[in-house]
Amino acid sequence: MPLLQEMCFKLPTFGQEVKIDEQLVEMLRRAKERFLDLLGERRRGTFLVKDVFALVDKLNDEYLKNNQIACGAGCAYCCRQLVCSTTLEAEVIIEYLGRLPRTTRREITRKARKEAMKFYERNRHSLSSRARWEEIAKALRASHYNLPCLFLNSANRCSIYPARPIDCRTAKTKKRCGMISGGEERPKDVRLFCDQIAANLITEEEERVNGVQQVSPLIALPISRQFGDFFG
């Protein structure tokens, strides 16, 4: 079987009993090796992130040639979950926005900042508590429940599609989506080897460049110390 196809194998989904046997470990090792081969020269920082995006898109297209999923343009359930990105991915988004025509960029950044501020004002008490991080994460997910992503436009389309984070690129399901109650994220039931390898490479690069595997919710981007100025 061609390795390219092997890389598009499904990983066990969360919640399933996972049997990590030697065969799975060996397949994952070979798939990672092949992924790195296809990536070619290992560039650094945001260049690596963009190369990984391009490769994972190509491999996902490969998977879709022989498999059907329920996802389609205009369906944006995933975009109403708590979507996160690394700092490097956030830099890719800022770079993309910076290249857009000024009026488009201002429209997107103003809306994003307004929504982020509203979210922050509504949740500042629960989110600034000194609770354990698991509790903060739970509160954040609950308060974010069913809230559209800052970059989802009025036509239910992503306004930063070419620069969307790896989480968005690899989210896919065979079941038709519907929000579930309680602010819990809906499990994504199709997870490929190449998706996992790509996500790992990005977080490893994040740690190499920034010293920590920092992953933050997109909703915090326009009010963050690092990127807030860009959003005005």
* Geometric angle at alpha carbon 25, from 23 and 30, rounded to 5°: 95
Q: Between vectors from CA 25 to CA 23 and to CA 29, what angle results, nearest 5°? A: 115
Strands (E), the chain: 84-86, 215-217
Please tell me the chain's helix, strand, coil percentages from 3-state DSSP, rounded to the nearest 5: 60, 5, 35
Pick the piece of the chain touching ligand SF4 (CB under 6 A) from 6-14, 27-35, 97-105, 150-158. 150-158
When asked if residue 160 is in the footprint of ligand SF4 (CB under 6 A), the reply is yes
Find the binding residues for ligand SF4 in span 191-230 (CB under 6 A).
none
State which amino acid sits at residue 167. Answer: D
Interface with ligand SF4 includes 151 (CB under 6 A)?
yes
158 lies in the binding site for ligand SF4 (CB under 6 A): yes
Nearer to ligand SF4, 79 or 194 (CB): 79
Of 11-70, which residues contact ligand SF4 (CB under 6 A)? none
Which of the residues 76 through 95 are near ligand SF4 (CB under 6 A)? 79, 83
Nearer to ligand SF4 by C-beta: 29 or 99? 99
Is-contact 223 217, C-beta < 8 A?
no
Total residues interacting with ligand SF4, rule: CB under 6 A: 9
CB of 160 or CB of 198, closer to ligand SF4: 160
How far is it, in rounded angstroms, from Cα 57 to Cα 205? 19
Mind giving me the DSSP string for 155-215? TS-BTTGGG--HHHHH---SSPP---GGGPPPPP---BHHHHHHHHHHHHHHHHHHSS--E
Determine if 168 is a binding residue for ligand SF4 (CB under 6 A): yes
**Considering beta carbons, is residue 31 or 160 the nearer one to ligand SF4?**
160
Using CB under 6 A as the binding rule, whether residue 71 contacts ligand SF4 is answered as no
Query: Residues interacting with ligand SF4, by CB under 6 A?
Result: 79, 83, 149, 151-152, 158, 160, 164, 168
